[in-house]
Amino acid sequence: MAISEEVQVAVAANFAVPLQKIAADFEKDTGHKAIISSGATGKFYAQIKSGAPFDVLLSADDTTTAKLEGESMTVAGSRFVYAIGKLALWSAKPGVVDDDGRILSTGRFSHLAVANPKTAPYGAAAIETMKNLGVLEKLSPRLVQGENIAQTQQFISTGNAELGFVALSQIQDNGKLANGSVWIVPAGLYSPIRQEAAVLAKGKGKAAVSALMDYLKSDKAKAVIKGFGYDLQG
pLDDT band (50, 70, 90) for residue 125: very high
* pLDDT higher than threshold 80 for residue 2: no
pLDDT band (50, 70, 90) for residue 4: confident
The mean pLDDT of the chain is 95
Average pLDDT over residues 162-177: 89
Q: Pairing state of beta strands 87-91 and 193-199?
A: unpaired
Distances (CA, A) of 167 to 15, 67, 98, 152: 9, 23, 17, 10
* pLDDT higher than threshold 50 for residue 1: no
pLDDT band (50, 70, 90) for residue 13: very high
Average pLDDT over residues 201-222: 97
The rounded distance, in Å, linking the Cα atoms of 168 and 136 is 21
* pLDDT higher than threshold 90 for residue 79: yes
Average pLDDT over residues 80-107: 96
- Predicted confidence at residue 3, as pLDDT, reads 77
Q: Pairing state of beta strands 176-177 and 143-146?
A: unpaired
- Predicted confidence at residue 178, as pLDDT, reads 80
Q: Look at 58-62, 72-76, 163-167, 177-181 and tell me which has the smallest mean pLDDT.
A: 177-181
